[in-house]
């Protein structure tokens, strides 16, 4: 059976880790510093089943090297865009890194839809 590796991408606080947890039930922020700061610092791994692995990468610009290390093995990007924030600098940077590494397939997840009342975002997410 072939293994598919999906990697998250997106700006800090756009819900990448929460999305992975919603999909797999696994909290990929395992370091005590990640818990204390409320942000992903190092790569996290979750397994949807025996054939799908999800790599959760940091979104903060200070940890871009960790992100780049994590995406070197992925086949499909999982781009999180927060509805209350839209496309931000690390959204573009992560997408560019995926392109540079030849990742030409992606799933776009509009997250945090519950935080907005904008009809345009709500239409887009449905």
Structure confidence at residue 106 (pLDDT): 94
Candidate list 13, 29, 56, 85, residue with the active-site label: 13
This prediction's pTM: 0.78
Candidate list 8, 11, 14, 17, residue with the active-site label: 17
Q: For domain 4-125, is the CATH number 3.40.50.300? A: yes
Candidate list 16, 28, 85, 91, residue with the active-site label: 16
pLDDT tens column, 50-74: 889 888 876 555 556 666 665 678 8
Structure confidence at residue 76 (pLDDT): 94
What is the SS3 string spanning the chain?
Answer: CCCEEEEEECCCCCCHHHHHHHHHCCCCCCCHHHHHHCCCCCCEEEEEECCEEEEECCCCHHHHHHHHHHHCCCCEEEEEEECCCCCCHHHHHHHHHHHHCCCCCEEEEEECHHHCCCHHHHHHHC
Residue 16 among the catalytic residues: yes
Residue 13 among the catalytic residues: yes
Structure confidence at residue 54 (pLDDT): 87
Q: For the chain, list residues with pLDDT below 50.
A: none
Structure confidence at residue 94 (pLDDT): 83
């Amino acid at each position: 059976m072939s293994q598919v590796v999906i990697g998250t991408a997106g700006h800090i606080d756009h819900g990448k880790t929460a999305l992975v947890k919603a999909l797999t039930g696994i909290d990929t922020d395992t370091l005590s510093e990640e818990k204390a700061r409320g942000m992903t610092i190092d790569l996290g791994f979750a397994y949807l089943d025996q054939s799908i692995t999800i790599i959760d990468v940091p979104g903060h610009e200070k940890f871009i090297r960790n992100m780049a290390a994590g995406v070197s093995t992925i086949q499909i990007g999982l781009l999180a865009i927060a509805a209350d924030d839209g496309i931000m600098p690390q959204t573009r940077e992560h997408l560019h890194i995926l392109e540079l590494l030849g990742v030409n397939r992606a799933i776009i997840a509009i997250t945090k839809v519950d935080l907005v009342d904008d009809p345009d975002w709500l239409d887009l997410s449905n």
